[in-house]
Structure 1
Amino acid sequence: MTMKDIETKLDAKTKDAVLKSQKTEMTEHVVYKRLAKKQRGRNAEILEQISEDEARHASIWERYTNTKVRPNPVAVILYTFLNMLFGITFTLKLMELNEDRAQKKYKKFLTLLPDAEEVLKEEEKHEQALLDLIDEERLKYTSSIVLGLNDALVELTGTLAGLTFALANSRIVGLAGLITGIAASLSMAASEYLSQKSEERDTLPVQASVYTGVAYIITVALLIFPFFVSSSVYAALAWSLVNALIIIALFTFFVSVVRSVSFKPMFTEMALVSFGVAAISFVIGSIANKLLGGSL
């Protein structure tokens, strides 16, 4: 069957699927090219190679569609922004996840398009092998970031919930949370430094402690902020708990993408632990307030 015969036999749905695949390849070609310019050494070479592969795949689809397509500008801007915010590995993994979904469409016309199977195999093996070579510092310290976030979420949500009923004053609760958070972040950073130094790892103790401390402080800031802007202590607590849920969701999504693990179980576990401690502390604070005659 000649190329002209195949092109003639393409129905509307198949051609639309091929065009979408072609646009995806062109978009990723541009994104990988941009990301390569922000990297050095081996990482830059890997991204350049992937970019060339995507351009070649797009040219294969173009032979069938006989149509030139432009990259998706919104996707290019989005992936560039995500790279700045979450790093190169997260961005690449997310792109691969999206492409995996698109690859399912390839199977519908593999028998019609002879080159599709070759493209599919290359996407599954070659690019994944290249992505595995990407080395990013922050991923080495994921456990340190998890430590800072988890401890801040569990400790501070519990503290703020308990103080809300015990003190019933937004500013005082916020100030108490700020003092507790700063002291705890320094303590956690120091503990992580000593823990890393006592064990043989491929991470540096100082960097690990910094990642833990910074993750803790950022979480503290997001959790106590509502208490300084809301006059209602209960509204502030509700706002703070929503912030905690957002932090858990964002970080869980990040880890699930870069580690290729399931999002739901990890999110559920972190949320249940944090909100479970908050609920217990809320009850303890309420009891403390009543025992003191509501004088606080």
Structure 2
Amino acid sequence: MAVSEQIKAKALVQQQNEINDFAIYTLLARNTADVHNAKLLRKIAAEEKNHYHFCQSITGKDCTPSRYLVMFYLLLIKLLGSTFAAKYMESREIDAEAFYLELEAQYPQARRIYEQETRHENRLISMLHDSKLDYAGAIVLGMNDALVELTGTLSGVALAFNKTATVGVTGLIMGIAASLSMAGSAYLESKESNDTNIKPRIYALNTGGAYVVTTLFLVMPFFLFHSMWLALAVMFAFAALAIWLYSFYISVAKEAPFRSRFVSMIMLTFGVAVISFAIGFVARRFIGIDI
């Protein structure tokens, strides 16, 4: 069967992707202690290997996995868990699906591969169990509240006070106190939950820990810089980066739209900051605070 050079070039790209995915899914299976998860991941890896051989029959060439890509996913597994890594991989499969559909007329078996890429593998991934995703809500809760509350607080006191260190200490004290309150509330909330996979103490630690870490990043500029405006600018840059990372994680882990979540979170966080900034301006102008 004659195959155009254009199809061969696309098949070679896809062949490389498939062998990369095979290596990564194999790595995922080896790095999970859950027997159920390991079985599912090995099944997906075997499918990716079959897809690789199909592309190889078109190109007539051999490919080896990309070492750097595999190392990247190994880091992702350690930080965010196997399920997140698997879902992130599948979110990149749109080009693969289009490629196999394009080949269907010439290679009927491409239809079966397309269906595996679009439905079967997604179904298998949805069956994965990951304790790190069970506590994603706790991390999101702590991070989300810290971003909204602390950016607002720091923006308000930045105009009320003269010294950046004073703003930083104020934000740090308020942030740590709020994190303890959040952790306590999260503990009580999780105790009332019907989800037996969630342990209240770990849920509370994740909530409070996420709040504290976010607080440290937001107050850091006020200890590093003497210029209040520069410290505020860096704080907002940290906040925007944190919101981007938070939105990206949720969009992959929960399969939710990234753009709308990111925009709404930015508007909420920065909207509260602007209002607080105005309150701080009024306090300094009419109350005459000089600290």
Q: Show the counterpart of 1:255.
A: 250
User: Is 1:281 matched up with 2:281?
Assistant: no
1:198-277 matches, cutoff 5 A = 198-202=192-196, 203-277=198-272
Structure 1 residue aligned with 2:191 = 197
Paired residues for 1:82-101 under 5 Å = 82-101=76-95
Structure 2 counterpart of 1:20: 13
1:117: which partner in 2? Answer: 111
2:78 is the alignment partner of 1:78: no
**Aligned pairs (5 A) from 1:170-189:** 170-189=164-183
Deviates more, 1:45-54 or 1:70-79: 70-79
Instruction: List runs of 5+ in structure 2 lacking aligned partners.
Output: none
Structure 1 residue 199: Cα displacement: 3.9
**Residue aligning to 1:127:** 121
Listed one character per residue, the Cα deviations across residues 209-232 of structure 1 (whole Å, up to 9, x for unaligned) are 111101101110111111111111
How far the C-alpha of 1:83 sits from its partner, in A, is 1.7
Q: Is 1:52 matched with 2:46? A: yes
**How far is the alpha carbon of 1:265 from its aligned partner?**
0.9
Does the alignment pair 1:291 with 2:266? no
What is the root-mean-square deviation in Å for CA atoms of aligned residues?
Answer: 1.4
Q: Which amino acid aligns with 2:202?
A: Q
Of the structure 1 ranges 191-200 and 95-104, higher mean CA displacement relative to structure 2 is found in: 191-200
Is the aligned partner of 1:107 residue 2:68?
Answer: no
Q: Give 2:290's aligned amino acid.
A: S
Q: CA deviation at 1:235?
A: 0.6
Between the aligned partners of 2:192 and 2:104, the Cα distance in structure 1 is 55
Letter of the 1:111 partner, please give it: A
Tell me which amino acid in the other structure corresponds to 1:251.
Answer: Y
Determine the structure 2 residue equivalent to 1:10.
Answer: 3
The match for 1:149 is: 143
Q: Percent identity?
A: 36
Query: What is the one-letter code of the residue matched to 2:259?
Result: K
2:167 equivalent to 1:166: no
Alpha-carbon deviation of 1:244? 0.6
In the comparison of the two structures, how many residue pairs are matched?
A: 289
Distance 1:67 1:150 in 2: 49
Deviation at 1:143, TM superposition (A): 2.3
Q: TM-score, normalised by structure 2?
A: 0.95
TM-score, L = length of structure 1: 0.94
Please tell me the residue identity of whatever aligns with 2:7. Answer: T
1:261-294 CA-partner distances (Å, limit 9, x unpaired)? 1101111111111111111001100110111335
The aligned amino acid for 1:175 is V
SS in 1 for 2:92: helix
Check the 8 A contact 2:145/2:211 in 1, yes or no.
yes
How far off is 1:205 after superposition?
Answer: 1.6
Matched letter for residue 47 of structure 2: D
Gaps of 5+ in 1: none
Instruction: Select 1:37's aligned residue among 25, 30, 52.
Output: 30
Rounded to whole Å, the distance in 1 between the matches of 2:112 and 2:193 is 46
